[in-house]
Amino acid sequence: MSGRISDSTVRRLSLYLRMLRDLERAGVELVSSAELAERAGATSAQVRKDLSLFGSFGKRGRGYLVGPLSDTLEEILGLDHAWKVALVGVGKIGSALLGYRDLSPRGFDVVAAFDVDPSKIGERVFGLSVRSLDELGETVSARGVEIGIVATPPQVAEDVARDLARAGVGAILNFAPVELGSVDGVPVRTVDIVLELEGLSYVLAAARRGAERSREGA
């Protein structure tokens, strides 16, 4: 079983799980790899391969049992219990995240929020009172926070990430537009909105260049 699992496989597992939950809610009991593949934007072989990296969960000739597979994926993804999350940086994105209702039902409980701005400290944002950045280490350790979210300006993102790592966080989600790779051995995933837009810009520009070239009759 399970050797080194690629990031893209993990992404797809999340997508499969989402679909399985929908199917479960709809009362469907059995699903084939082809059906799962369809909505996740993958192929049936891919679905089977992804799942087979962790074990044999299907019934030959029939498909997969929705409930049990759903449970198995939750366990594999570590979603069978809630994670404690701390947010650093209560600016626009930070506040939006605090107000985002889908986090805790999905197993991510934001239990603390930090900022440097004195005018924000003590304020309640969506029911959570903002603490001073100075308390970060202490609070994170004391409450056993497992995941940190960095929503600060890029200049301080790396320092904040390091503080979170030192305080004992095991993984970091970074919204600042800087590549952090991993800090002090703690894995970081970066969500970089401008980078995504630039990716789309490339596609548009490339299409435009292609259109011109064919107009020229190359």
Partner DNA sequence: TGCTGTGAATAGATTCACAGCT
Partner DNA sequence: AGCTGTGAATCTATTCACAGCA
Select the binding partner of residue 189 from its own copies, DNA, none (C-beta < 5 to 8 A, by kind): its own copies
Of these partners, DNA, its own copies, none, which one is at the site of residue 49 (CB under 5 to 8 Å by kind)? DNA
Question: Are the CB atoms for 189 and 197 separated by under 8 Å?
Answer: no
Binding site for its own copies (CB under 8 A): 2, 5, 7, 10-11, 13-15, 17-18, 39-41, 75-79, 83, 85, 92-93, 95-97, 99-100, 102-103, 106-108, 146-147, 170-173, 177, 179, 181, 187, 189, 191, 193-208
Contact flag: residue 58 with DNA (CB under 7 A): yes
The reply on whether position 70 binds DNA by CB under 7 A is: no
Contact present, 169 and 185 (Cβ < 8 Å): no
Q: Is 81 helix (H, G, I), strand (E, B) or coil?
A: coil
Among 10, 39, 43, 78, binds DNA (CB under 7 A): 43
Nearest alpha-carbon partner for 112 in 92, 142, 81, 91: 142
71's enclosing H/E stretch is helix 66-76
Contact region for DNA (CB under 7 A) — 56-64, 89-97, 123-131, 185-193?
A: 56-64
Contact 14, 76 (CB under 8 A): no
Two tokens, residue 43 = 């192929």
Q: How far apart are CA 169 and CA 186, in angstroms?
A: 8
Let me know: does 58 contact 9? Beta carbons within 8 Å: no
**Does 195 interact with DNA (rule: CB under 7 A)?**
no
CB of 134 to its own copies, least distance (A): 26
Which of 48, 70, 89, 172: binder of DNA (CB under 7 A)?
48
In this structure, what token pair is assigned to residue 90?
A: 């209560």
Where does this chain touch DNA (CB under 7 A) — which range of 55-63, 84-92, 137-145, 176-184? 55-63
When the beta carbons of 7 and 216 are compared against its own copies, the nearer one is 7
Amino acid identity, residue 24?
Answer: E
Please identify, using beta-carbon distances, which residue of 6 and 104 lies nearer to DNA: 6
132/192 Cα distance (integer angstroms): 25
Q: Least Å distance between CB 13 and DNA?
A: 11
Looking at the Cβ atoms of 10 and 211, the one nearer to DNA is: 10
Q: Which of 51, 113, 164, 167 binds DNA (CB under 7 A)?
A: 51
Beta strands across the sheet bearing 182-183: 124-125, 128-132, 108-115, 83-88, 147-150, 171-174, 186-190, 182-183
